[in-house]
Structures are given as C-alpha cells and as structure tokens.
Amino acid sequence: MKLSSVNTKELLKNIKTIFFDCDGVLWNSFGLIQGAVETVNELKSMEKKVFFVTNNSTKTQEEYLQRLTSMALMFPRMRYYVQLT
C-alpha cells in the first residue's frame, strides 16, 4: 500500500530523527534505489535530522562521503557516516 503525501506527513509529524542504512536502502549493487534521493531530500526539507549508518566495514568514511555527495545528499559531514560494528 502506498501512503499518500497527507498520510506520510501525518506519520512523520512527531518524528524528528531518521536513520538510513546505506547498502540496500539508498543503493545496491545495481545503483541507486528508486526514490532514495528524493525521499532523503524531502525529509531534509521537512527539517528532519537524517543520519546514514552502515555495518559494511569494507569501505572507508571517505568512500561513503564521496558516494553520498555524488547522490546530491548535502548534509554536514558529521551526518554522513556512522559505522556500526
């Protein structure tokens, strides 16, 4: 079931912070997940705090920073990467 924009805004009304896993949520081995950039940028426009996390230790912080920057996800550097181990 797809949420309407009204339902989505109501659902997100009381949510201040959102965490996205990178691999498999924002992109996969084929490229960007459809709608990922638009979703993150819409949350940003709603003044949500958006953070990116990963449990993939095969890439460096700089590699994740480059990937996110290339996707036009412009956030302060401190929000780009949290490695969960």
The structural domains of the chain, with segments of one domain joined by +, span 13-83
Q: Which candidate in 12, 18, 20, 23 is catalytic? A: 23
Q: Which residues of the chain have pLDDT under 70?
A: 1-3, 72-85
Instruction: Supply the pLDDT for residue 78.
Output: 42
Q: Please classify residue 28 by burial: count the beta carbons closer than 10 Å to its beta carbon, then call 0-12 exposed, 13-18 middle and 19+ buried.
A: exposed
Instruction: Supply the pLDDT for residue 3.
Output: 63
Instruction: Supply the pLDDT for residue 80.
Output: 45
Please tell me the CATH code under which domain 13-83 is placed: 3.40.50.1000
Instruction: Supply the pLDDT for residue 39.
Output: 87
Q: Which candidate in 21, 38, 62, 63 is catalytic? A: 21
Residue 21 appears among annotated catalytic residues: yes
